[in-house]
Amino acid sequence: MLKSCLKMFLATSALTLGLAAGSAQAQEEQKKYTFYHLLWSMTDSIVQLHVKAGEAYMKSHPNVEIKYLGPEAYDPAEHARFLDTIINAKPDGIALHISNPDALLPGLKTAREAGIPVVSVTSHPPTEADNKKLEGSYLTWVGADERLIGVRMGERLLQEETPKRVAYLMAHLGHAGHEMRAEGFFASMPDGVPTDKVAVGDEPTAAMDVIRSYLAANPDVGAVFGSSPQNKWITDVLAELGRTDVKVLTSDESPSSLECVLAGLCFATFSQEFPIQGPLAYEIMYQYKETGMAPVQPIVTGPLVIDAANAQMFKDLALTAFGEDGYAELSPF
């Protein structure tokens, strides 16, 4: 009796182990490729558009797994460390935002040597010198021309009025995308309009203090160009100072920026088609792995200015990605 029980136990155990091993193998086979998307900052709500688009991509490509990683707040050195960690995980492809070519170059070189395909997503350094350094380090680039974003936003502002002074509020000096956006914005201003780049940091109280002090010291400021996480801080300070004359330009089609525009607190924001950037990058990596093929030209996805006239349309699109509750949670307005 004992012997037969033991036999049955051993047989059941062997079967269970075999099934588990088979299931793990099947799962392994099912997830043929693991791609990593290295994000620049997990505290920027707009990255959720990449994440949501990735979820949809994984549904349509069951053999692809996409993992999202990134520092909680942007920092070039931290960004580079995350890239090193991802390379050590031996992924089948990496999508990333090349925010600082010098910081990321060693990692990109290692990825190339390891045969890991890389796609540059969102902003990409536009200068010839930077691109020369990055030559051969990535398959292609999918994103908006950051300098052009600044120019287009400046042009939209000038259609409304010519400000006496403008400022670009930066959470972190040295971020390639923001530096380019600021450069384009300043270049679009007529001669004689003073321009300031203001480093505000990412801690709300400290940032609001800087914004408040800057505006108090410069009462002639007619427009400030910030970014999505700063919307509430800027508009709260303007309300506190009673500055209804300052136009606020912000970034991307995040719930915060769209609600800011819809509430009339922000003058304009822009879209660089975040929802399609990620899937295009994943598809490029997928096709490269399958066929060895890569696009010969970068894929430029914007910008398009969003103002009171078309914000509702973008809100409807964002609602399909985030859902009612998710959208409301991401907007402080």
Partner 1 sequence: MTSLFKDRIEASVILGAVAVALLFTIATKGLWLQNLPSLLILTAGVGIVAIGQAVLMTSGEVDLSVGSVYAFSGVGFIWFMGQTGDVALAAILAVAVASLIGALNGALTTWFHVPSMIVTMGGMFVYRGCVYLMTAGHSLSTPRPLRDSAVIEMLGGRTAGVSHSILILLVVMVAAVFMLARTRLGNHIFSVGGEPQSAAANGISPARVKIIAFSLCSSLAALAAVVAVCREGTIYATSGKLMELETIAAAVIGGCTLRGGIGSAWGAVLGVFVLSSLKGGLMMMGAPTSWYVAFVGLILIGFLVSSRLVNGRLN
CB neighbourhood size of 56 (10 A): 13
How many angstroms separate the CA atoms of 25 and 270, rounded? 45
Out of 117, 177, 229, 302, the residue judged to bind partner 1 by CB under 8 A: 229
The reply on whether position 194 binds partner 1 by CB under 8 A is: no
User: 152 to 191, contacts with partner 1 by CB under 8 A?
Assistant: 173
Which pair of tokens denotes residue 194? Answer: 């003073």
The reply on whether position 262 binds partner 1 by CB under 8 A is: no
How many angstroms separate the CA atoms of 105 and 31, rounded? 29
Total chain residues near partner 1 (CB under 8 A): 34
DSSP 139: S
Relative to beta strand 93-96, strand 247-249 is unpaired
Cross-strand partners of 140 = 119
Nearer to partner 1, 17 or 216 (CB): 216
Which pair of tokens denotes residue 10? Answer: 């051993």
Helices 176-188, 146-160: inter-axial angle, 10-degree rounding:
30
If residue 281 lies in a helix (H) or strand (E), which one and from where to where? helix 274-291
Nearest distance from C-beta of residue 185 to partner 1, angstroms: 16
Closest-CA residue to 274 (of 237, 314, 236): 314
Q: How far is CA 64 from CA 54, 119, 123, 319, in A?
A: 10, 16, 24, 25
Q: Which stretch binds partner 1 (CB under 8 A): 23-31, 122-130, 145-153, 228-236?
A: 228-236
User: 59 to 78, contacts with partner 1 by CB under 8 A?
Assistant: 72-73
- Check: CB of residue 269 under 8 Å from CB of residue 250: yes
Nearer to partner 1, 140 or 231 (CB): 231
User: 23 to 52, contacts with partner 1 by CB under 8 A?
Assistant: 41-45, 47-48
**Strand ranges, E, within the chain:** 33-38, 64-69, 93-96, 118-121, 140-143, 165-170, 195-199, 221-225, 247-249, 269-271, 299-300, 304-306
Out of 183, 202, 259, 273, the residue judged to bind partner 1 by CB under 8 A: 202
Nearest distance from C-beta of residue 215 to partner 1, angstroms: 10
User: 206 to 225, contacts with partner 1 by CB under 8 A?
Assistant: 206, 209-210, 212-214, 216-217
Nearer to partner 1, 108 or 200 (CB): 200
The reply on whether position 236 binds partner 1 by CB under 8 A is: yes
For the chain, the farthest-separated pair of C-alpha atoms sits apart, in whole angstroms, at 98
Nearest distance from C-beta of residue 71 to partner 1, angstroms: 10
Out of 55, 220, 316, 329, the residue judged to bind partner 1 by CB under 8 A: 329
Out of 32, 81, 165, 197, the residue judged to bind partner 1 by CB under 8 A: 197
Nearest distance from C-beta of residue 299 to partner 1, angstroms: 27
Out of 175, 232, 247, 315, the residue judged to bind partner 1 by CB under 8 A: 232
Which residues form the interface with partner 1 (CB under 8 A)?
Answer: 41-45, 47-48, 72-73, 173, 196-199, 202-206, 209-210, 212-214, 216-217, 229, 232, 236, 240, 329-332
